[in-house]
Amino acid sequence: MLKFAISGVLCFVSAYLGIAGKNYYDKRCKYLKAFDDFLFSLRDGISYARDKLPQIGRKFLSGGKGAFYSDLSQFVDLAESGNPTAEQVKKCFDSKYLSKFDKALIQDFFSELGKFDYDTQMSRLDLTASQLKKTIEKAEKERRTTVNLLPKLGLVLGIAIMIILA
């Protein structure tokens, strides 16, 4: 009876870990899509309204919630108080949902934001947007393949543990 209870708990834990892995990929995609939305908002704010970065950031932050929004809020607070350093930017956008490449892309973009003339800034924004499109496509593909696989794999592993222990 004790073996059955232990194997049941292990089955539950392995299935839960599979679901947690699925959530990681979902949140990564949401984070990257929110960054893409911010780039679009930033392009409009710079091109048409000629707003300053904190104003653009505050307008964007009023429209949503999530991991990217909280990271962006920290960055906007830093930008309002002065020029944030690369280390401060790194701390702002060090999300556990992002890969190393994702973090580098976002941190580099925000570290260099506002340090160039208008034309250079717009070209860097376009370059980041095109890199981000590829990254989002890759993240979506990874999510689609793993979102169904991880919970099933966790459940099968849990059942295998139950059979071995029983």
pLDDT of residue 30: 93
More confident residue, 64 or 151: 64
pLDDT of residue 49: 58
pLDDT of residue 35: 93
pLDDT of residue 153: 75
- Across the range 62-85, mean pLDDT stands at 86
pLDDT score of 29 more than 70: yes
Kindly report, residue by residue over 38-71, the tens digit of the pLDDT. 999 888 888 775 777 888 888 888 878 888 999 9
pLDDT confidence bin for 12, thresholds 50/70/90: confident
- Across the range 5-33, mean pLDDT stands at 79
Percentage of residues in the chain having pLDDT higher than 90: 27
Average pLDDT, the chain: 84
- Which residues are within 8 A (CB) of 154 and not within 5 positions of it... i.e. 6 or more apart? 14, 15, 16, 17, 18, 19, 21
Percentage of residues in the chain having pLDDT higher than 70: 94
Kindly report, residue by residue over 127-149, the tens digit of the pLDDT. 999 999 999 999 999 888 877 77
pLDDT of residue 128: 92
pLDDT confidence bin for 105, thresholds 50/70/90: very high
Listed by start position, the domains of the chain span 2-165
pLDDT of residue 106: 92
